[in-house]
Amino acid sequence: MNKPLRHVWLVISILFALLFTSTTYFQIIAADRLSADSRNARAIYNEFGQPRGQIVVGGSAIATSVETDDNYGYLRTYDPGAMYAPVTGYYSVVYGFSGIERALNDTLSGSADSLFYQRIVDVLSGRPASGATVELTLDPAAQEAAWDALDGRRGAVVALDPETGAVLAMVSAPSYDPNRLASHSTGDVQEAWSALNEDPERPLTNRAIGGDLYPPGSAFKLLVAAAALESGEYTEESVIPGPGTYQLPNSSSVINNFSGGRQDPCGPDDQSTLAEALRQSCNTSFAMLAVELGEEQLRETAESFGFGQRLEIPLSVTPSTIGEELDDAQLATTGIGQFETRVTPLQMAMVASAFATDGVVHQPQLVQAVRTSDLSTVAELSPIEVGQPLSASDAALMRSMMVGVVEDGTGTAAAIEGLEVGGKTGTAQWGEDRAAHSWFVGYARGEEQKVAVAVLVEEGGYGSRTAAPIAKDVMEAVMDG
């Protein structure tokens, strides 16, 4: 081979090497990064250019794709929007997605591995590609009852089926209209996004499963009572101390029992039964009981209810906590749901669900089923056990005590005629010169139906006045269904 030909061959070889390297880089190594790049208009057009699977509640679509005559092809619409927005999330050409739209994007877009054969069938049959339908566990009547009862106040409501973990209601307020973020007008979307993020009420936060979390206040006494029963050293009739005031160990701080503005003892001779202490919500009794039980027992019980676990339902749930390395003073305040105890309303609904059944806690789940375009079932809800924090017999004892709270204690506003209703109110302090958070955690049982519920109203004051009536409305909606 003469010299000029060798030069030509060398140049061609180099060009082929460069071509091979660049093709390999862009199609394999950098493919995912380039596809995810917000400046990649082709990827966006491809993604929005085919129908996305519906999100369905109670047989009706609450999120669907509507064909348009613009460059995107399909517009995501939500109806009703705000009531379900913390669950569905949004699907935006500018800001991506959130909620179920994000957690199950592969399913809704049709790209999930489980839909491989469906994609083959679509190609062979000539049908346009489409995503799968996601059917949620939400009960539309319960969801609407929770939404209406909150009435725009900051807070959250969660209702669960205790026997399966199915989420029957998940409301977070205030909420937002996801249609504004799904618009194909970039300017309108950016304006809506700025307004939502600048809103001090934080409407984009799903308070039911995340955000800053909340002290549970006296609702946490349910876990302390359960820990006491499971220790084997207490029954509902066990007599425990309940003085009007209790000075915290190695501290100058004092815990009081408040009754009608007075600092009263719980029961004669500054003592009462465990059941009576729960009915009256005696702060000193449960503070002293927590110290007596010890951190290890209390933590073990809390973790068996799901504390500390990062759940995917499939939305990500922020773990609840009772704090770390507690001394006796801190343990005492933890016993009444204060100090560093922080929970999600979902976690407290899980607590109630254990009492409503035989002491078993199931993982909450939002997805009832996933179905293809020809209605073939790809996945269905299957109960997943999180733990069993107490025995069936101790769960029955807890129900007995919680029924006392509703029949003749702080939770009478949650009573429903003809049903067994048990619960616990909470009034959680969280800041100086701020109104307390309002809680109700409980359950309702009928012959064939059960429901566990947790209600949190930010700065709502007494749980007996604010949260309990909301819980009643939600439980009635489920049980009537």
The Cα–Cα gap between 139 and 145 comes to: 10
Strands 239-241 and 271-273: antiparallel
- In DSSP notation, 272-335 reads EEHHHHHHHT-HHHHHHHHHHH-HHHHHHHHHHHTTT---BSSSB-PPPB--SS--HHHHHHHT
218 is catalytic: yes
Integer angstrom CA distances of residue 309 from 79, 115, 222, 406: 33, 30, 19, 30
Please name every residue paired with 64 in a beta bridge, in sequence order, or none if there are none. 77
3-state SS track over 325-371: CCCHHHHHHHCCCCCCCEECHHHHHHHHHHHHCCCCEECCECEEEEE
Question: Which residues have C-beta within 8 Å of that of residue 179, sequence separation ≥ 6?
Answer: 77, 78, 81
Q: Of 130, 183, 218, 304, which is the active-site residue? A: 218
Helix-helix angle 392-408:345-356, to 10 degrees: 110
User: What residues are labeled active site?
Assistant: 218
